[in-house]
């Protein structure tokens, strides 16, 4: 074995054994890249590609055409609708009903404008996918508790949190239908016929305007089942505080005041 003479220069000088600032930066870049890759693999877009997680197929819109005879219609008079994805396995007798959100319209002009969107007319509603990391996801890793339940996504097209029951008139003379209450009742009635009545557990949820609707209809929803059925209501961002905003105004009080005034002032136009 060849020995290095004691007088020989060391193979590495002390400063060569230390990381230079540029090396530290490269090291942190590598660590950050590794962490990002781990995140993408576990919960990001690479997860389904690498692990074969099935992607949810678009779920078609189901129109309640028969409900038009009962006056359950969107703002423009078109039939309301919902999307239904059937459950499977141990979730086949469990039901999740979600009320879509989408703000409110507090003036005739605002409600008239909504007629030209999916928030006021079923003519503009498209199929949806039950994807993502939320409570409606069909991915068992993202949504382990509810992924295989029967899921119904109720479309919002009345502008008043599924609560109004009146008619108004737009500036161009066309009728505005404030029939959110009838829409809610018609959808739930149909879902009861499609299996909801036999649920062993059911949950009603909603976000924003749909969250407020969940507050409004929770008691009615619960009353449709026997005491043996586990029934819950979950509200996401549906409780709006009556406080001043950063401009010093009570914006939500004004908004809600307009919604209530619009619905109540047209109550006399109601046609039963």
pLDDT at 239: 85
188 domain residue, yes or no = yes
Does residue 25 register a pLDDT over 90? Answer: no
Task: Tell me which residue range forms the domain holding 119.
Answer: 62-240+256-264
Identify which of 235, 179, 174 has the alpha carbon closest to the alpha carbon of residue 64: 179
Mean pLDDT of the chain: 84
219 domain residue, yes or no = yes
In the DSSP assignment, the letter for residue 114 is H
pTM confidence score: 0.78
Mean of pLDDT values over 101-115: 95
- Quickly state the pLDDT bin for 171 (edges 50, 70, 90): confident
pLDDT at 77: 97
Percent of the chain with pLDDT over 90: 63
172 domain residue, yes or no = yes
CA pair distance 130, 139, nearest whole angstrom: 9
Count of domains for the chain:
1
232 domain residue, yes or no = yes
- Quickly state the pLDDT bin for 256 (edges 50, 70, 90): confident
Does residue 15 register a pLDDT over 50? Answer: no
CA pair distance 135, 146, nearest whole angstrom: 7
202 domain residue, yes or no = yes
195 domain residue, yes or no = yes
Burial class (CB in 10 A: 0-12, 13-18, 19+), 202: buried
H helix or E strand, kind and range, residue 39: helix 21-42
204 domain residue, yes or no = yes
148 domain residue, yes or no = yes
């Amino acid at each position: 074995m060849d020995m290095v003479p004691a007088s020989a220069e060391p193979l590495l000088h002390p400063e060569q054994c230390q990381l230079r600032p540029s090396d530290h930066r490269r090291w942190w870049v590598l660590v950050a890249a590794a962490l990002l890759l781990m995140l993408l693999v576990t919960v990001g877009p690479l997860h389904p590609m690498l692990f074969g997680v099935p992607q949810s197929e678009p779920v078609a819109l189901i129109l309640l055409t028969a409900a038009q005879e009962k006056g359950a219609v969107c703002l423009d008079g078109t039939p309301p609708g919902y999307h239904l994805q059937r459950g499977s396995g141990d979730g086949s007798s469990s039901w999740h009903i979600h009320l879509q959100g989408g703000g409110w319209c507090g003036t005739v002009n605002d409600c008239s404008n909504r007629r030209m969107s999916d928030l006021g007319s079923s003519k503009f509603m498209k199929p949806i996918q039950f994807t993502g990391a939320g409570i409606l996801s069909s991915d068992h890793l993202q949504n382990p508790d509810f992924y295989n339940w029967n899921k119904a996504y109720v479309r919002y097209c009345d502008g008043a949190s599924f609560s109004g029951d009146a008619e108004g008139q737009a500036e161009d003379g066309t009728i505005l239908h404030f029939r959110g209450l009838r829409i809610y009742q018609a959808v739930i009635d149909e879902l009861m016929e499609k299996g909801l009545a036999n649920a062993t557990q059911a949950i009603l949820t909603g976000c924003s305007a749909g969250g407020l609707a969940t507050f409004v209809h929770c008691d009615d929803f619960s009353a449709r089942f026997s005491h043996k059925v586990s029934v819950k209501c979950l509200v996401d961002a549906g409780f709006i505080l009556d406080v001043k905003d950063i401009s010093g105004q009570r914006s939500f009080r004004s908004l809600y005041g307009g919604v209530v005034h619009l619905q109540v002032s047209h109550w006399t136009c109601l046609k039963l």
